Amino acid sequence: MKILITGGAGYIGSHTSTVLHDAGHEIFIYDNLINSNKEVISQLQKITGAKFNFKEGDIRDTNLLTKEIKKNRIEAVIHFAGLKAIGESMEKPLDYFDVNVGGTISLLRAMYANNVNYLVFSSSATVYGQPNYLPIDEKHLKVTTNTYGQTKLQVENILEGVCKRNKSLKKI
């Protein structure tokens, strides 16, 4: 399967890319390199012995995403791209909503334009706030305590709504 990994040059994205490559998938990495380094792509190629397709770009650039998804014949997306610092999110809430929520909407538009219906979204335990019980499960009440968590919960709600209204989008 041809899989787009947004934020694929980051820590979790790069490890996911390696595992999926080893499982026989063709990986395309899309990253703006704000929280990562292009050298990661070279390291992935050294580790696996394979060439990884890479495009530097902003997740909010719907036109570029649409073009790259089409050009690379992407079949599924794993979405890690976004801002991630809890403290910074409280200082720069508009930046976090713009990148994390707006970027996801941009990605969904690009996927829709290319009839890509498979998405894995990397959320965060921060959507649960202070846990009422452990271990936390998906039935746990969601009460965010910071802007970062609010953006992740907002995206979860958007995806839930999109899946309910667009039966071709597969919720995994």
Residues with catalytic annotation?
148
Q: 79: part of which helix (H) or strand (E)?
A: strand 76-79
Please list the residues that pair with 118 across neighbouring strands.
Answer: 170
Which token pair is 35? 């929280």
Strand order of the β-sheet with 118-121 is 53-56, 26-31, 2-6, 76-79, 118-121, 170-171
State the distance between the two ends of the chain, measured CA to CA, in whole angstroms. Answer: 16
Q: To which residue do tokens 């998906």 refer? A: 138
